[in-house]
Amino acid sequence: MTILPTERSIRSTPEGLLWEPSTRWVRGSKNGVTVVDSRRPVLVWEPDLPVPQYAFPREEVREDLLRPAKNPPTGTHTGSQVFYDLEVGGDPVENAAWTFPAEDLAGHIAFEWFRRWGTGLDHWYEEEEEIFIHPRDPHKRVDALSSSRHVRVEIDGTTVADTRRPVLLFETALPTRYYIPREDVRLDLFAPTEHHTGCPYKGTAQYWSWRGDADVPPNLVWSYPDPLPQVAAVQGLLAFFNEAVDITVDGERAARPVTPFSEMLSKRTAEQDRS
């Protein structure tokens, strides 16, 4: 049966997966070899992952490069899957691909992509644009808007940023992030780190850590020196994790949100305390 995507075409499976067909042309390569070349990919959302993944019809995958996994993991993805190792040019990648148990997704193979360093393919493209970290969610929106709100950021009672010219970044399912001009941030209170992260919506971020004794996680502040065009307004500005600092907007103290980042920040703080 041919399934044509519509504006509201998300389906669910008994295993708790959400999925919908996509019309994007998606390609993935390893060591210069195209492993996936699909015009009929399917986006899949697992219950414990906040971002989607792609699964591809078998006929659009180089199955000759896949081998039954020698050491298949347990509890990595939803349900009981079959895992595959990928071998391209003598460079094996363990558990690079798998199948979902859902009947709806029979005949499809998924590949590691989310947090894929060292575990997945080298490059992924949607049409002719390279995409990093994970596929973009078609139901997610990211807007960066210039504002005249008065934003003040404090750490352990110390004001570290104060501005009336922030850029507010609104991202679906996340709290508003306040991007502040460097001139309005006490950057002398922070030390640059080697930490970097990538985002398919914003680009690659660089980080700073608090120099003081407050019980806050490292890599608390970030900036996008070369953001993607969709959020160009945040270029060079600095943002703080709302989850770990005190932010006051127009005189009203904002509650610290609980987000998918909260647990990560708590672990960072604990690891820092033990070091």
Within this chain, do residues 172 and 210 fall inside the same structural domain, yes or no? yes
- Tokens read off for 130: 């390279």
Contact residues for 210 (Cβ-Cβ < 8 A; gap 6+)? 155, 189, 190, 216, 218, 220
pLDDT at 63 over 50: yes
Within this chain, do residues 124 and 201 fall inside the same structural domain, yes or no? no
Cα separation, 145 vs 232, in Å, equals 10
Overall average pLDDT of the 97-105 stretch: 92
pLDDT in the model for residue 116:
52
User: Residue 63 sits in which domain range?
Assistant: 11-130
Within this chain, do residues 185 and 106 fall inside the same structural domain, yes or no? no
Q: Is the dihedral of CA 210, 215, 217, 223 positive or negative?
A: negative
80 with 143: CB under 8 angstroms?
no
Within this chain, do residues 81 and 164 fall inside the same structural domain, yes or no? no
pLDDT in the model for residue 114:
59
In a domain, 4, yes or no: no
Q: Cβ atoms within 10 A of the Cβ of 75, count? A: 6
In a domain, 47, yes or no: yes
Within this chain, do residues 153 and 269 fall inside the same structural domain, yes or no? yes
Contact residues for 72 (Cβ-Cβ < 8 A; gap 6+)? 82, 83, 95
Contact residues for 174 (Cβ-Cβ < 8 A; gap 6+)? 259
pLDDT in the model for residue 275:
54
Overall average pLDDT of the 260-270 stretch: 75
pLDDT in the model for residue 1:
43
Task: Say what the pTM is.
Answer: 0.82
Number of domains making up the chain: 2
Which CATH number does the domain housing residue 220 bear?
A: 2.170.150.40
Within this chain, do residues 98 and 175 fall inside the same structural domain, yes or no? no
b or e along 128-163 (b: 16 or more beta carbons within 10 Å of the residue's beta carbon)? eeebebbbbbeeeebebeebeeebbbbbeeeebbeb
Indicate the pLDDT class of residue 80, thresholds 50, 70 and 90. Answer: low
11 with 104: CB under 8 angstroms?
yes
Within this chain, do residues 123 and 224 fall inside the same structural domain, yes or no? no
In a domain, 2, yes or no: no
Each residue of 123-158: pLDDT tens digit? 999 999 988 888 999 999 999 999 999 999 999 999
Within this chain, do residues 112 and 156 fall inside the same structural domain, yes or no? no
Backbone angles phi, psi at 214, to 5 degrees: -60, 150
Each residue of 6-55: pLDDT tens digit? 445 889 998 899 999 999 999 999 999 999 999 999 999 998 788 899 99
Nearest alpha-carbon partner for 86 in 116, 106, 115, 107 = 116
Within this chain, do residues 147 and 206 fall inside the same structural domain, yes or no? yes
Burial of 250 (0-12, 13-18, 19+ CB in 10 A): exposed
In a domain, 62, yes or no: yes
Within this chain, do residues 152 and 266 fall inside the same structural domain, yes or no? yes
pLDDT above 70 coverage of the chain, percent: 91
Within this chain, do residues 116 and 155 fall inside the same structural domain, yes or no? no
For the ranges 6-15, 192-201, 210-219, the lowest mean pLDDT is seen at: 6-15
In a domain, 211, yes or no: yes
**The domain boundary residue, chosen from 130, 154, 171:** 130
